[in-house]
Amino acid sequence: MGRLSVSLCGIGLDNPVIPASGTFGYGYEFAELYDINCLGTFSFKGTTLHSRPGNPLPRIAETASGMLNAVGLQNPGVDRVISEELPKLAECFHKPVIANVSGFSVEEYAEVCRRFDAQPQVGWLEVNVSCPNVHDGGMSFGTEPKAAAEVTRAVRAVTSKPVIMKLSPNVTDIVAVAKACEDAGADALSLINTLMGMRIDLRTRRPVLANRTGGLSGPAVFPVALRMVWQVSQAVRIPVIGLGGIQSAEDVIEMMLAGASAVQVGAANLVNPCTCRDIIRALPGTMDRLQINTLQEIIGGSHGQ
C-alpha cells in the first residue's frame, strides 16, 4: 500500500478522498476537467426507485460560510441510472464506485439496492437515511435507531456488497443510531449529512427556499461533523467515512485523526470543481510537514487524548 492508501470495507482505495453524493453528478461531467481516476472513489447522485423532478425553485441559497440546498433528490430513477448513466461513467472511471440510495419506504430502499447489487461497477451501497429536503422519506428513517436499523436489515438482506449507512446530524443521539445500524448489519457509516437550516428574504419577508428549509453544508458544519465522527468512531467497530465542510488536505488529516477511515468532499466541489484533485496533490506535502508516514496509521489518532 502507498502512503495515501486506505481500505474501505475490504476494498482498497488509492487515497481516502471521495466526492460526496449530489456534488459530483455521475462523474463524467468532472472528467472533462481532470482525470477523475486520481480519486479514491466517488459517490454518485442519490438514486430512488422512480424518477424525481426535485423540489420547486429556488432550491439553493448562500450562507456566510456555506450553502443551503433543497434539491429534493432530483434523479432519473434507478433503471435509467443503470442503463444510461453507468455506461457513460464506465468510459471515464475505472474503479468501483459508490451508489447512493434513497427511498420513501423500507421496501423501496431494498429494491433499489437489489437492482444495484447486480452492477459490477458498484463497489458499495451508501444508503441515505438522512436527507432533510424531502417529505415522507429520507431523514425520517434516520432520526430514530429502530427505523434506521429496519432499513439496514432490509438492505443487507438483498445485497452482498458493503452497505454504508449515511446518517443525519439532526438527531439527539447519533451514537445510538450508529450502533443500531451496526447491529443490523451495516458494514460502514458515513456522517454527517447536512444540518437543517433556512434563510429569510428581508424584502419579501418570506423564506428564500421554496421548500422553506434546506440542508446546510460547507465549512460552517466542519466542527459539528468532526465531533460526531469522533464520537461514533469510538462507539462502533465498523469504518466511518467523515464528511461535512472538508476543503483542504489539513481537513482530511484532522477528520482521519478523529476516526474517519476515508472522507467525502461535498460543497467544496461546487466552489472549485478541481478541489478533490487539489487535495490529493497536497496530501503528501502536508503529511511530510506533519511528520505523517501513512494515512492508514493516523486513523483515530486523537482517541484517548
pLDDT score of 133 more than 60: no
Strand-pairing partners, residue 99, are 125
Average pLDDT, the chain: 95
pLDDT by residue (tens digit) across 10-31?
999 999 999 999 999 999 999 9
pLDDT score of 305 more than 70: no
pLDDT by residue (tens digit) across 64-77?
999 999 999 999 99
Q: How far apart are CA 271 and CA 269, in angstroms?
A: 5
Whether residue 12 contacts residue 262, with contact meaning beta carbons closer than 8 Å, is answered with: no
pLDDT score of 132 more than 90: no
Catalytic (active-site) positions: 131
What confidence score (pLDDT) does residue 290 get? 98
pLDDT score of 223 more than 60: yes
Binned at pLDDT 50, 70 and 90, residue 135 comes out as very low
DSSP, collapsed to helix, strand or coil, labels residue 40 as coil
What confidence score (pLDDT) does residue 140 get? 66
Q: What are phi and psi of 237, to 5 degrees?
A: -105, -5
Strands 66-69 and 60-63: antiparallel
Q: How far apart are CA 36 and CA 41, in angstroms?
A: 9
Q: How far apart are CA 138 and CA 55, in angstroms?
A: 14
- Residue 246: which residues within 8 A CB-CB, separation 6 or more? 222, 252, 255, 263, 264, 265, 266, 268, 279
Strand-pairing partners, residue 197, are 214
Determine what percent of the chain is predicted with pLDDT higher than 70: 96
Closest CA to 47 of 117, 126, 132: 126
- Where does the chain show beta strands of DSSP type E? 6-8, 11-13, 17-19, 60-63, 66-69, 97-101, 122-128, 163-166, 188-191, 195-197, 200-201, 206-207, 214-217, 240-243, 262-265
Whether residue 122 contacts residue 164, with contact meaning beta carbons closer than 8 Å, is answered with: no
Q: How far apart are CA 5 and CA 184, in angstroms?
A: 29
Q: How far is CA 102 from CA 15, 45, 158, 264, in A?
A: 26, 10, 15, 18
Q: How far apart are CA 4 and CA 170, in angstroms?
A: 32
Q: How far apart are CA 145 and CA 141, in angstroms?
A: 8
pLDDT by residue (tens digit) across 98-112?
999 999 899 999 999
The three cell numbers of residue 114 are: 437489489
**Does the domain made of 6-50+71-197+216-298 have the CATH classification 3.20.20.70?**
yes
pLDDT score of 174 more than 50: yes
Whether residue 262 contacts residue 8, with contact meaning beta carbons closer than 8 Å, is answered with: yes
pLDDT score of 198 more than 60: yes
